[in-house]
Amino acid sequence: MVKVGQTRPKRNSFYSGAGAYFVMMSSTTIPTPQSLQSAVASPCVKTCIVDGSSSLCLGCFRTLSEIGGWSGMTDAQRAAVMAELPVRAAQARP
């Protein structure tokens, strides 16, 4: 118990009258919307129609797995997908 005039040692914990709620909390900073932005923007044009024969979205020309995994990709992976999109678009539009 902390007496008046004493300071509690700094810990990553949340205390209440019942005691510590979280003994081990992350010491990382909370990401801001600016830090979550990627250098490679999504090619999504909000026209989602998947072609059954090619399994590509006819709006952005990504596969369903690329669309679903976009937020988990690195910038290098996103750039690689973006580089393939013009070729895919040309093949889809004869």
Judge whether 16 lies within some domain.
no
Pairing of strands 19-20, 15-16: antiparallel
Residue 93: domain span: 38-94
Q: Is residue 11 in some structural domain?
A: no
Q: What percent of the chain shows pLDDT beyond 90?
A: 44
Domain count, the chain: 1
DSSP single-letter state for residue 17: T
| 32 or 86, higher pLDDT | 86
Q: Average pLDDT, whole number, for the chain? A: 76
Kindly report the number of other CB atoms within 10 A of residue 13's CB atom.
14
Task: Report pLDDT digits (tens) over 15-58.
Answer: 555 555 444 444 455 555 544 556 788 999 998 899 888 889 99
pTM, two decimal places: 0.57
Q: Where are the beta strands (DSSP E) in 29-83?
A: none
Please report whether residue 53 resides in a domain.
Answer: yes
Q: Does residue 82 lie within any of the structural domains? A: yes
Domain-embedded: residue 42 = yes
Share of the chain above pLDDT 70, in %: 59
